[in-house]
Amino acid sequence: MAVVSATQTKTARRTGRQARREATWFYLLITPWALGFIIFLAGPIIASSYLSFTHNDPVNWPPKWVGLANYQLLVKDALFWKSLQVTTLYVVLSVPLSIITATAVALLLNQKIPLVSMWRTIYYLPAVTAGVAVALLWQWIFNANFGLINATIYSIFHVTGPKWLTDEHWTMPAFIIISLWQFGGPMLIYLAAIQNVPTSLYEAAELDGASGIRKMWHVTIPLITPVIFFNLILNIIASFQTFTYAYIITQGGPHYATFFYVYNIYNNAFTYISNMGYADALSWVLFVIMLVFTLLAFKSAQWWVFYETPGDSPAK
């Protein structure tokens, strides 16, 4: 018994030393990530929360505590409400269209067609292009005088196309069209989800006499709703942060028709030098708005997101 006890003690000590060694290496290896997280993410977040209650600009340092003055100014700021209106309209229109477009293309690319791999690559390529380059490309395409879209409209219908980027009534439709450009990433995710649907369900639907459209509507779409929900959340967050196209193409115009929320934050932070603290307040309000929209999406998931295992709804 004494020998067994000594052996167990040695084993426990060896296991303890190995566990401590593994823990040491674990903390050592995550140190670069932890430092990066603290310095470049957590630190700025905490700093911006404090600075949102200050009057902060590079000229008058250090920041002066003003309490809720920035948030009170925000409520009275007409540009705040305008940017919020423009961004909300953009999110409400672009997000559903992006999801529908990506899902439709994924369904088409799941068919047995010639050169399907080439078509998948072509549709995915826009997702890896740089934002500024894409903005300049679309600026030329939507040019009212020699752009590709108006030239095509004139050649087919012999009518002059709209002034896409200089008419306040047409800039938002133009930006929504641009938002459909980079659906390649979500499309690949939908395609993978579609190919993961069990073939036995399609066979059962065929035995019940279901057509191709009914199989798509009653089998494919319900089973990929978790993936649709995932992309919905990502699209909502990304759409609220739209900036590059407004900055490069229209600079918020014409007549503030593309004055997006993040572009308003940028102007207050880097154009209106004395409003850095106000820009921080705008950023935290945007965080709250995105959080509310995200929570609403999670709340709605219980009615339209379906899982193979009952009770797995993200809303619960």
pLDDT of residue 273: 67
What's the whole-number average pLDDT of the chain?
88
pLDDT (mean) for 9-34: 83
Q: Is the pLDDT of residue 118 over 80?
A: yes
pLDDT (mean) for 85-109: 94
- Residues 51-71: pLDDT tens digits? 999 988 777 778 889 999 999
Q: Write down the residue that tokens 């423009």 correspond to.
A: 86
pLDDT (mean) for 142-166: 91
HEC string for 250-302: HCCCCCCCCCCHHHHHHHHHHHCHHHHHHHHHHHHHHHHHHHHHHHHHHHHHH
- Residues 240-286: pLDDT tens digits? 999 999 999 999 989 999 999 999 999 998 887 668 899 999 999 99
Structural domains present in the chain: 71-304 (1.10.3720.10)
Q: Is the pLDDT of residue 6 over 70?
A: no
Other beta carbons less than 10 A from residue 168's beta carbon: 14
pLDDT of residue 78: 94
Side chain identity at residue 204, one-letter code? A
Report the b/e string of 211-249 with b at 16+ CB within 10 A: eeeebbeebbbbbbbbbbbebbbebbebbbebebbbbbb
Q: Is the pLDDT of residue 9 over 90?
A: no
pLDDT of residue 131: 81
- Predicted TM-score (pTM) of this structure: 0.87
